[in-house]
Structure 1
Amino acid sequence: MFFDRVLIANRGEIAVRVARTLRALGVESVAVFTPPDAGARHVREADIALEVSKYLDIEAIVAAALASGAQAVHPGYGFLAENAGFARRCAEAGLAFVGPSPEAIDAMGDKIRAKATVSAAGVPVVPGGAEPGDALTEWADFPALIKPSAGGGGKGMVLVRSAAELPDALESARRTARAAFGDGTLLIERYVENPRHIEIQVLADTHGNVVHLGERECSLQRRHQKIIEEAPSPFVTPETRASMGTAAVEAARAVGYVGAGTVEFIVDGTTGAYHFMEMNTRLQVEHPVTELVTGLDLVELQLRVAAGEPLPFAQEDVRLDGHAVEARVYAEDPARGFLPSGGRVLALREPAGGDGPGRVRVDSGLAEGGTVGSDYDPMLSKVIAWAPDRASALRSLDRALARTAVLGVVTNVPFLRALVRHPAVEAGELDTGLVERALPELLPRAGVPGEVAAAAALAFHTLPQGPDPWQVTDGWRIGERAWTTWRLESRDGVHAVPVRGLPDRSAEVLLDGEAVPARVTTGGGELAVTIGGRTTRYLTARHGDTLWLGRDGESWAFTRHLIGDPGDRPGAAAAGDGVVRSPMPGTVLLVKVQTGDRVSEGQPLVVVEAMKMEHTVTAPRDGVVAELPVQPGRPVDMDAVLAVVTGEEA
């Protein structure tokens, strides 16, 4: 019997995505939320919503499911998705867990045990050693990679090039593993040079059927975190696909797997030799690319398997059609070392449909008016493009990203567009180190383009200026109109743009010393700016005295800067003035100094935490801590003043 009501034990874009399939199947969805998420999109789109203390509270989630009358729980990914204890608790409560058995989760959750299990089933594994024993301290095959046995997401992984580096690397990896996973057990493996990260999607039912749905290329990573994924891989041949698929199926069979899962392989980009890395016992973030090339709904198949139904197709029925590419949109700032960002979503534009023979899909948890906070993962949405061939899919994805705008929150969209258009990516010459090597080419350009600053000045110039005609800044005077210089502040500094006239009638803007005709029209949340006969459209929004403009996947925020301002707005302060600002919205974790302390340049002052990332803010100069307006445990906004360090003479 199929389900009537399913609780989604997750949040954000995956909760919205699961609810979409439930709606299509005529099944009621139950959302859970913590207080900060009370107005979130996944809450609004569910049929029923119940508050819980936290998304990791197993008893609270199970109680919510029982109270709602749900018959099953879909865990999404992250949080409790790979928690064997949660799967057991659901079974004890009479709830169907939309995922594998607790035993399968346990078997694949421990990397050491997983390698031994699949190796016994004939699946090739990377040569390595594990604890307990002396395999790590006596390892002599370099380069090598140290990994936490209980880990994931790249945390605690350390590359070791020589025996001399090994002791310190083991200590560092063990410290990280204990902090992140509560288990300091490590393993070591031969490091594969020029590696590609390729994974196989598997599906298994309770009737003994196991199939694979081809591969996904996940080699575009930064710090072991995936950024862009695609299916199929431009590297994998039909013969290799069949071989890797068979290995993935055997790995799933080895643990009696049921449901959707992913077997991940490290592949030598030179020889094509592949080795098992790990198995993710859940739905993957990148599952949409597989759905688009196979025409299958993986969430629907998960639900049907959990309800006891057999898979409706066999291996020979699986076909791969066309090419799909996915980009992950994060609330992070590439120009600031990819630090988390946040804020209120003032305006939102997400692409829909597609162009030419392709199509675009967006999986998103965003909604206008919502707040992107610092408590959870910074992924906001995923933009996915399908086309008949890979080159067309990449172009379609780039155009879709250009139509993506999130005003009020800094995102990585410009970085994603640069990566999609990188020559190595276009050629399919990928490996897991490509992004780090190409990073200088991929980071957004510094500064604000002159025409954007001019558009912002013209926008400010059109704002209502009061009933007094003498206050209208059209520059009127006897003889000819005078120039009004707008000093606008952005994160890149102060921009002085002279304007005269009224832009909704006839105006001029001074660009590179030349007076250029300009005109502005507004409507529908957009600003149409015509400068010198060329019209550019911007998505626009205001929040207090801040104006946001968005175009081609980029966004800029401006405030008015008055002559004599003491550098008290974002972007105005330089290191020389001693003002220390928060590089990201978050929570003050530690304050390492007190007012009146003498400090040296580079000395740690405050530690800010956001989205499970810590950032230490240091003194910009030698001097004395004159102001310290923060306390541990208190939230701070991006660019909020954390401290002021004055010179000894002050």
Structure 2
Amino acid sequence: MQMPLFDTVLVANRGEIAIRVARTLRDLGIRSVAVRADDDPSPHPEHFDETVSLGSGALRDTYLSIEKILDAARSSGAQAIHPGYGFLSENAAFARACEEAGIVFIGPDASAIETMGDKISARHAVESRGVATVPGIAEPGLDDAALITGAERVGYPVLIKPAAGGGGKGMYRVDDAAELPAALQAARREAKSAFGDDTLFIERFVSNPRHIEVQVLADTRGNVIHLGERECSLQRRHQKVIEEAPSALLTQAQRAAIGQAAVETARSVGYVGAGTVEFIVAGDRPDEPFFMEMNTRLQVEHPVTEMVTGIDLVEQQLRIAAGEPLAIAQDDVRLEGHAIEARIYAEDPAAGFLPTGGRILDLRWGDGIGVRVDAGVDPGGEIGSSYDPMIAKVIVHGATREEAIDRLDRALAETTVLGVTTNRAFLRALLGETAVRAGELDTGLIDREADRLVATGTPSAAFAAAAAAAGMLALGGAGAWQHDGWRIGGSVGRVSRYRDGDGIATVRVRHAPDPGDAVPYGGGVRQPRLDVDIEVARADGSSERITAMHAIATRRVPEGAWVGLPEGDFLIERHVRTRSGRAAAEPTLASPMPGTVVAVHASHGDAVAEGQAVVSVEAMKMEHVLRAPVAGTVHVHARVGEQVTRGQELATVTPDSQEDA
């Protein structure tokens, strides 16, 4: 029997990545220790042998507290710390503190993190190894004037990027010189908030760009290999949405060349551990990859590489950290089949992908051959604004790319998340795109097609299910629909009205399943295959008669009902009658998400133009600007630093027409 690499390992993270690392620790017979903020709803401690409390409070006092993490490691007897991703995973000070405390940091040394964590120094390091970088202006301490001058030399469009951090935060594409000053201010503010460093640089924007990254492994003996590439071009606001391995773009020769460039990148800083080298590639010039950055940690999308190579990357991290030489040579790496991953987020695509929140009422994951789900939530769990809005990753493997996409689409169709608005329907719409199916991707595809992809609408079946569920649950007991009234010609039925966009959907139920035959589903109701007679009259004038319903997950809530269909999960809200004749209200700017006011762009009483920025709100390190809906006089009700709730009024604008009256 193989001896464990370490006796005890602490995982300094939460949610799905903590659960995923714990799985490998368990497989290797290593005792696992979790850390947890007292007010964190994540279920990850259930997967560990021991849990150490970090107390409660802001992130800086819990998961970002180096002192508390090290104290937890000492008290639990942990010999090593796995940082997961995010939080302290790319914090050079944390890596250095672990070394000084005599605890193994499962990752590269502090100097490699520092070099690659600063995008400017990273560019210089890889250029010394002959790795190409995107043309741009990248020097320490550039002020706005220097960046504006440099952008003229680089040529528009340009991409503003923060020197610290990653994940697309603080990145802005600018197409015109007039837009640059305001974009620089927003980028600095966002970078400062997200990374504590507002240093910026500028690169030329590559046309039709594809985002391709390469997984590398490097041991303490100087051995460095790559495990092939991942295509991450399907992004929204520089945040990855769907990732796959291998890329449909590259030939074998191009794969070998970009892999070698990644290896040279790792060698440029004496890298040790698992890391990812990211490249930008023009779709029409895949033989010319440009280095973007190196992530000195495990990536969110690492499972697709594991699926096509059969290599457990967390196990490799542990073995490297324990001083073992790589047992895998470059010639041993084989890419078998195709893998693809979709990230399920608590966000509302129809509202510009703003983060959402709430309590998860029901939860079901798709399964089947080749399907893997890495989730960090349980039914009843709370999704708040303190942590990343990603709920889970659905990853599948197939013999071909086409088979993998089909399996992912089927797994998403079988998934249900009730209680929180998610991007599940959007993901299915994206997978159905002709360009996606053909592998004709670029990083701007989602942003170009977002309006069309999110316009999926609410199926009539969702209204029908909501009405049926409301009747069964509200009236209770067998025969809930028996007393529906009879007239010549048959049953009148029970009528319910729900919001249908800007109009009303009228639902008439004449017969519905007997609740005594309903199948329990997560505390709600999963309707069996029974005949129904439901008529749905939509706000657009269309109507539909539904005579069968099956396997539909529903949960009744005060505002209506949650309904889970293959097309997506929908909150069907009841129509509440209001008094007529009420005077029109002044245009209101309400916070679209729970968060913090980070900027107020206009003073109380100012005259504002339509579209002018008024207030900026940040949540989950994403900034949203509220703009005046009409020209008029602004009345500001918010202040910088204020914590606000979703729907809270932050400002109103009295239209010019009313001012003149």
Task: Say whether the fold is shared (TM-score over 0.5).
Answer: yes
1:307 and 2:294 aligned: no
Contact 1:346 1:543 in 2 (8 A): no
Contact 2:465 2:554 in 1 (8 A): no
Q: 1:440/1:596 Cα in 2 relative to 1: closer, same or farther (>3 Å)? A: closer
Q: Which residue of 2 aligns with 1:211?
A: 225
Q: In structure 2, which of residues 329, 351, 364 is the aligned counterpart of residue 349 of structure 1?
A: 364
Q: Which residue of 1 aligns with 2:245?
A: 231
Q: 1:558/1:136 Cα in 2 relative to 1: closer, same or farther (>3 Å)? A: closer
Contact 1:196 1:432 in 2 (8 A): yes
Q: In structure 2, which of residues 146, 155, 161 is the aligned counterpart of residue 142 of structure 1?
A: 155
Q: Which residue of 2 aligns with 1:384?
A: 395
Pairs within 5 Å for 1:93-104: 93-104=101-112
Query: Could you tell me how far 1:202 is from its partner in structure 2?
Result: 0.3
Q: Which residue of 1 aligns with 2:416?
A: 405
Q: Which residue of 2 aligns with 1:156?
A: 170
The letter for the 2-side match of 1:129 is I
Q: Equivalent residue of 1:35, what SS?
A: coil
Q: In structure 2, which of residues 276, 279, 286 is the aligned counterpart of residue 265 of structure 1?
A: 279
Query: Could you tell me how far 1:627 is from its partner in structure 2?
Result: 13
Q: Which residue of 1 aligns with 2:464?
A: 454
Q: Equivalent residue of 1:523, what SS?
A: strand
Q: Which residue of 1 aligns with 2:342?
A: 327
Q: Equivalent residue of 1:500, what SS?
A: strand
Q: 1:239/1:22 Cα in 2 relative to 1: closer, same or farther (>3 Å)? A: same
Q: Which residue of 2 aligns with 1:513?
A: none
Query: Could you tell me how far 1:441 is from its partner in structure 2?
Result: 2.6
Q: Which residue of 2 aligns with 1:365?
A: 376
1:200 and 2:214 aligned: yes
The farther-off stretch of 451-460 and 335-344 is 451-460
Distance in structure 1 (CA, Å) of the matches to 2:576 and 2:181: 56
Distance in structure 2 (CA, Å) of the matches to 1:625 and 1:135: 33
Q: Which residue of 2 aligns with 1:16?
A: 19
The farther-off stretch of 47-56 and 130-139 is 130-139
Q: Which residue of 1 aligns with 2:6?
A: 3
Contact 2:512 2:531 in 1 (8 A): no
Q: Which residue of 1 aligns with 2:33?
A: 30
Q: Which residue of 1 aligns with 2:297?
A: 282
Contact 2:217 2:225 in 1 (8 A): yes
Q: In structure 2, which of residues 41, 46, 49 is the aligned counterpart of residue 47 of structure 1?
A: 49
Q: Equivalent residue of 1:137, what SS?
A: helix
Query: Could you tell me how far 1:594 is from its partner in structure 2?
Result: 12
Q: 1:613/1:175 Cα in 2 relative to 1: closer, same or farther (>3 Å)? A: closer
Pairs within 5 Å for 1:529-608: 530-531=531-532, 532-544=546-558, 546-564=560-578, 582-586=591-595, 608=617
Q: Which residue of 2 aligns with 1:476?
A: 485
Distance in structure 1 (CA, Å) of the matches to 2:577 and 2:482: 17
Distance in structure 1 (CA, Å) of the matches to 2:607 and 2:202: 45
The farther-off stretch of 541-550 and 130-139 is 130-139
Q: 1:565/1:204 Cα in 2 relative to 1: closer, same or farther (>3 Å)? A: farther
Q: Equivalent residue of 2:403, what SS?
A: helix
Q: Which residue of 2 aligns with 1:119?
A: 127
Contact 2:473 2:556 in 1 (8 A): no
Q: In structure 2, which of residues 313, 327, 347 is the aligned counterpart of residue 298 of structure 1?
A: 313
Query: Could you tell me how far 1:64 is from its partner in structure 2?
Result: 0.9
1:613 and 2:615 aligned: no
The letter for the 2-side match of 1:214 is G
Distance in structure 2 (CA, Å) of the matches to 1:366 and 1:402: 19
Distance in structure 1 (CA, Å) of the matches to 2:447 and 2:81: 39
Q: 1:564/1:76 Cα in 2 relative to 1: closer, same or farther (>3 Å)? A: same
The TM-score normalised by the length of structure 2 is 0.85
Query: Could you tell me how far 1:522 is from its partner in structure 2?
Result: 4.4
The farther-off stretch of 191-200 and 254-263 is 191-200
The TM-score normalised by the length of structure 1 is 0.86
Q: Which residue of 2 aligns with 1:527?
A: 527
Distance in structure 1 (CA, Å) of the matches to 2:302 and 2:123: 24
Distance in structure 2 (CA, Å) of the matches to 1:574 and 1:617: 24
Q: Equivalent residue of 1:463, what SS?
A: helix
Distance in structure 2 (CA, Å) of the matches to 1:140 and 1:402: 49
Contact 2:5 2:30 in 1 (8 A): no
The Cα offsets for residues 322-368 of structure 1, whole Å up to 9 and x where unpaired, read as 000111111100000101111001000112232xxxx1111110100
Contact 1:346 1:407 in 2 (8 A): yes
The answer for unaligned runs of 5 or more in structure 1 is 506-518, 568-572
Q: In structure 1, which of residues 491, 500, 503 is the aligned counterpart of residue 510 of structure 2?
A: 500
Q: 1:178/1:610 Cα in 2 relative to 1: closer, same or farther (>3 Å)? A: closer
The letter for the 2-side match of 1:42 is H
The letter for the 2-side match of 1:112 is I
Distance in structure 2 (CA, Å) of the matches to 1:597 and 1:575: 22
Q: Which residue of 2 aligns with 1:316?
A: 331
Query: Could you tell me how far 1:244 is from its partner in structure 2?
Result: 1.3
Identity of aligned residues (%): 54
Distance in structure 1 (CA, Å) of the matches to 2:241 and 2:371: 18
Distance in structure 2 (CA, Å) of the matches to 1:537 and 1:51: 41
Contact 1:148 1:173 in 2 (8 A): yes
Q: Which residue of 2 aligns with 1:243?
A: 257
Q: 1:110/1:456 Cα in 2 relative to 1: closer, same or farther (>3 Å)? A: same
The answer for unaligned runs of 5 or more in structure 2 is 55-60, 533-545
Q: Equivalent residue of 1:548, what SS?
A: strand
Query: Could you tell me how far 1:523 is from its partner in structure 2?
Result: 3.4
Distance in structure 2 (CA, Å) of the matches to 1:304 and 1:606: 49
1:395 and 2:406 aligned: yes
Contact 1:142 1:160 in 2 (8 A): no
Distance in structure 1 (CA, Å) of the matches to 2:70 and 2:102: 10
Distance in structure 1 (CA, Å) of the matches to 2:209 and 2:161: 16
Contact 1:197 1:266 in 2 (8 A): yes
Distance in structure 2 (CA, Å) of the matches to 1:151 and 1:69: 31
The letter for the 1-side match of 2:21 is V
Q: Equivalent residue of 2:73, what SS?
A: helix
Distance in structure 1 (CA, Å) of the matches to 2:188 and 2:643: 31
Contact 2:613 2:626 in 1 (8 A): yes
Q: What is the CA RMSD across the aligned residues, in angstroms?
A: 3.7
Query: Could you tell me how far 1:465 is from its partner in structure 2?
Result: 2.8
The Cα offsets for residues 114-133 of structure 1, whole Å up to 9 and x where unpaired, read as 11111111222223332257
Q: Equivalent residue of 1:140, what SS?
A: helix
Query: Could you tell me how far 1:77 is from its partner in structure 2?
Result: 0.6
The letter for the 2-side match of 1:375 is S
The farther-off stretch of 236-245 and 475-484 is 475-484
Distance in structure 2 (CA, Å) of the matches to 1:30 and 1:312: 27
Q: Equivalent residue of 1:310, what SS?
A: coil
The Cα offsets for residues 134-187 of structure 1, whole Å up to 9 and x where unpaired, read as 686245232333322224222333334466665665555445444443333333
Contact 1:474 1:502 in 2 (8 A): no
Q: 1:382/1:57 Cα in 2 relative to 1: closer, same or farther (>3 Å)? A: same
Q: 1:534/1:482 Cα in 2 relative to 1: closer, same or farther (>3 Å)? A: closer
Distance in structure 2 (CA, Å) of the matches to 1:216 and 1:603: 40
Query: Could you tell me how far 1:26 is from its partner in structure 2?
Result: 1.4
Q: Equivalent residue of 2:154, what SS?
A: coil
The farther-off stretch of 218-227 and 47-56 is 47-56
Contact 1:201 1:261 in 2 (8 A): yes
Q: Which residue of 2 aligns with 1:516?
A: none
The farther-off stretch of 558-567 and 68-77 is 558-567
